[in-house]
A and B are shown apart, each in its own frame.
Chain A
Amino acid sequence: MTKSTKNELGSFRDPSGNIFYQNNNVYRSVNCVYQDNYSQLINSGLYNKLTKLGYLVKHKEVKNPKNVFKVLKPDPIPFISYPYEWCFGQLKAAALLTLNIQKIALDHDMSLKDATAFNVQFIGNKPIFIDTLSFEKYVKDSPWVAYRQFCQHFLAPLSLMSYTDVRLNSLLSSFLDGIPLDLTTKLLPVSAKIKPGIFAHIILNAKSQQVMATTSQDKNKYKVSKLGLEGIIDSLISTVSSLKPKKIKSTWGQYYSNTNYQTKSFDSKKRLVLSLFKGLSVKSILDLGSNNGLFSDVVSKTGAYVISADYDQNAVEDNFTNIKKDNILPLVIDFTNPSPNLGWANTERKSFWDRLNVEAIMMLATIHHLAIGNNLPFDNIASLISQHCRYLIIEFIGKDDSQVKILLSQRDDIFTDYNQESFESEFGKYFITIKKENIPHSNRTLHLMEKK
C-alpha cells in the first residue's frame, strides 16, 4: 500500500475485502478468503445480469494486485448518502432493489450474506447496489442469513414511516444496524400489526428473536427449501410494495402552491438562476433548502449533479416521486442539525458536511428560515457555507416580504440586524459579490458570490 492510499474507515466488518482510496479514486480489494464466491459471481453470469439491469455497480479489475486476490475499481458514485437521509420512496426503492437482487442471486445459486441499507446508494433518482462482495454461494436448504438484517434496515423503518410517522426514518441514525424489531413492534399501531406481512416479518420475527435469544441452538438444524425461501422473498416484496408514506401536515410541503409569489416572478427567477449557473459551468451543486426540487430541476439543465436537500419529508418525497432525473439526488437534511459522524469511533459514517464536495451552493428562499426561523446570525451561516463551496447563489428576502411576515407574525421581532445591508456586509467577510440582481415583480434580490 502506497503513501497516498487511505482506507475507508467504515469498511472493516466484512473480512471478504475492503474499500480504499488512491489518487482520488475508489478501490475495493478482494481477499483470498472470498475467492470462490467472487469467481461464482462472475462465472455464474450473476454479475453480468445485475450490471446489465443497472442493479449492481460496474467495476474493472485492476491488473497485478499485490497481497490480495483482486483489486476492483468500481464506477464512481457522485455523492454517498445514508438511509437516514432518504425519504420514504428512496428507502422503499432501496428495499425492493435488495429483494430483487436476492431473487436473481438465488436463480444463480448465490445469496446475499448481508442486507444493510448502506449497501445501496443513489445516482440521482436511481438506486444501485454497491457492495460487490455481498454475494455468497447458496447452501442447499439454508435460511437467508440476512433476513433479520433486511427486516431491521428496511421493513421496520418503512412500516413505521407508513403507519406511525414518516419522520421516524431518523431512528436509523440512532440504530445503525436497523431499528430493533421489538422497538418497532412497540411503536406500530394495532392497525399495522394485523397486516399479514408486518405480523409475519416484524411481530413474529421479534417474538422469535426473544424466544431464541437465551437458548443455545445448532443453526444447522434449521432447514428452509429454496422454494420456501423464494416464497419468503416474494412475501417481503409484496409487503414492502404495499406500504405508502403516512402524510403529515408540514409547513413547507406545499410551499410553492401556497404562495402567490410564483405566479408573478417564478419564470423570471428561473431564467435568472439558470443564466447565473450557465456562466459558471460548475459540475456539482448543493441546493440547500430545495423544497420539492423545482429549482434543482432548473439548474440540473446545466448538466451539473445536484444534491437537492431539504428537511421537509413531504417536499423531498414530492421531489423524488416527480422529478426523476439521473443528476438530481433528493435528500432529507435538516441544515440546523445535519447528519453527524456516527458509528465506531465516530468515523464509520461521515457527517454530511464531511462528505460534501461541491463547487457551488444555491440557497433560494432559505436565508430567512435560518436567520429568523432558527436565530442563526448571518456570520455563522456565511462562515459555514464558505468552507464548502467556491460559488454561492443566494436569495435575500427582506422583512417586507410576505413569507418573512408569516415567520415574524407569531413572535417578537428581535432581529434588528436582519436587513440587506447587514446581510451584504456579513457575507462580504467571506465572499466577493460578482453579481446582484433584483428578481422582477418582487422585493427579493439574487446574489452570485465567489469565495474570497
Chain B
Amino acid sequence: MISKKTSLETLALLFTISFLWPKPSLAYLDPGSGSYMIQMFLAATVGLGYVFRNYLKQFKNLFKKHDKVDKK
C-alpha cells in the first residue's frame, strides 16, 4: 500500500519534471505577462538574497573603513 507521504513525494516529483519538459508555446496573446509573473516570484526569492548580500557587503565595508582609519 502506498503511503500518503509517498504519493505527495511522487506528485512533487512529477510537478518538477513537468517544468523540465514544457510543451511548445502557442501564444496568441502577448506572452510578456508571463515574464512579469515570473519576475514577481523571482524578486521575492533572489531579491532576498540580494538584500542579504548587500547588507553583508556594507557590514564588511564598515570594517574596511575602520581598518584604514586605524592605520592612519
Which A positions have Cβ atoms within 8 angstroms of B? Answer: 143-145, 147-148, 151, 180-183, 185-186, 190, 193, 199-201, 203-217, 219, 222-225, 227-232, 234-235
Contact = CB atoms under 8 A, between A and B. Distances in A.
Secondary structure of the B side of the interface? helix
Interface of B: 19-29, 31-51, 53
Contacts of B44: 228
A204 B28 contact: no
Contacts of B25: 180-182, 206, 209-210, 213
Contact of A207 (B22, B26, B45, B48): B22
Given A204-B19, A216-B29, A225-B43, A210 B34 contact: yes
A224 B38 contact: no
Contacts of B27: 209-210, 213-214
B47 A214 contact: no
Contacts of B19: 199, 203-204, 207
Given A182-B25, A185-B20, A219-B33, A205 B46 contact: no
Given A201-B42, A216-B29, 19 more contacts: A143-B39, A143-B43, A147-B39, A148-B32, A183-B24, A190-B20, A193-B20, A206-B22, A208-B38, A210-B22, A213-B26, A213-B28, A213-B29, A214-B28, A217-B33, A222-B36, A227-B51, A231-B43, A231-B51
12 contacts: A143-B35, A145-B32, A148-B32, A190-B20, A210-B22, A213-B26, A219-B32, A228-B44, A231-B47, A231-B48, A234-B46, A235-B50
Nearest to A233: B50
B71 to A, nearest CB: 31
B2 to A, nearest CB: 26
A207 B24 CA distance: 10
B46 to A, nearest CB: 4
B3 to A, nearest CB: 27
A204 B20 CA distance: 9
Contact of A222 (B20, B26, B29, B40): B40
